[in-house]
Amino acid sequence: MSALKILHLHSSFDPGGKELRSVELINAFGAGLHHTIVSAVPEAMGAASRLLPAIPVDLAPDFPALQGRPLPRRLMEIARALSSFDLVLTYNFGAMDAVLAHTIFGDMLRLPPLVHHEDGFNQDEVEKRKGRRNWFRRIALGRAQALVVPSQQLEAIAITEWHQPRARVQRVANGIDTAAYARKPRPDALPRIIKRPGEKWLGTLAGLRAVKDLPRLVRAFCALPDDWQLVILGEGPEREAIRAAAMEAGVGHRLHLPGHVPEPAKVVGLFDLFALSSQSEQFPISLVEAMAAGLAVASMDVGDVKAMVAVENQPFIVADEAALAQALVTLAQDQALRERIGAANRARARVEYDKVTMVAAYADIYGAALGKTAFP
Give the residue among 237, 210, 235 at the shortest CA–CA distance from 121. 210
Interval 238-256 mean pLDDT: 97
Instruction: Tell me the per-residue pLDDT of 104-145, one tens digit each, with 9 for 90 and over.
Output: 999 999 999 999 999 987 767 767 888 999 999 999 999 999
Interval 236-248 mean pLDDT: 96
- What's the Rg (C-alpha) of the chain? 21
User: How confident is residue 262, by pLDDT bands cut at 50, 70 and 90?
Assistant: confident
157 contacts: CB under 8 Å, gap ≥ 6: 129
Q: CA-CA distance, 207 to 237, in Å (whole number)?
A: 9
Q: Confirm if 214 and 246 have CB atoms less than 8 A apart.
A: no
**CATH, domain range 4-175+355-370:** 3.40.50.2000
What is the share, in percent, of the chain residues with pLDDT greater than 70?
Answer: 99
Q: CA-CA distance, 133 to 149, in Å (whole number)?
A: 17
Asked whether this chain's domains 4-175+355-370 and 178-352 adopt the same fold, the reply is: yes
Residue 157 carries which side chain, given as an amino acid letter?
I
Give the residue among 275, 273, 138 at the shortest CA–CA distance from 217. 275
**Pairing, β 57-59 against β 297-300:** unpaired
Q: CA-CA distance, 323 to 309, in Å (whole number)?
A: 18
Q: CA-CA distance, 15 to 31, in Å (whole number)?
A: 22
Q: CA-CA distance, 183 to 200, in Å (whole number)?
A: 18
77 burial via Cβ count (<10 Å: 0-12, 13-18, 19+): middle
Topology of domain 178-352, CATH: Rossmann fold (3.40.50)
User: How confident is residue 273, by pLDDT bands cut at 50, 70 and 90?
Assistant: very high
Gap between the terminal Cα atoms of the chain: 13
**Alpha helix positions (H), the chain:** 17-29, 72-82, 96-109, 131-140, 152-160, 214-221, 239-249, 285-292, 305-308, 321-333, 335-352, 355-370
Residue 176 DSSP code:
B
Where b means 16+ CB within 10 Å and e means fewer, 134-144 reads eebbeebbebb
Residue 53 carries which side chain, given as an amino acid letter?
P
Q: CA-CA distance, 17 to 30, in Å (whole number)?
A: 20
Instruction: Tell me the per-residue pLDDT of 177-231, one tens digit each, with 9 for 90 and over.
Output: 999 999 889 999 998 899 999 999 999 999 899 999 999 999 999 999 999 999 9
Each domain of the chain, given as residue ranges in start order, spans 4-175+355-370, 178-352
Instruction: Tell me the per-residue pLDDT of 311-336, one tens digit each, with 9 for 90 and over.
Output: 999 999 999 999 999 999 999 999 99
Q: Whole-number mean pLDDT of the chain?
A: 95
pTM: 0.84
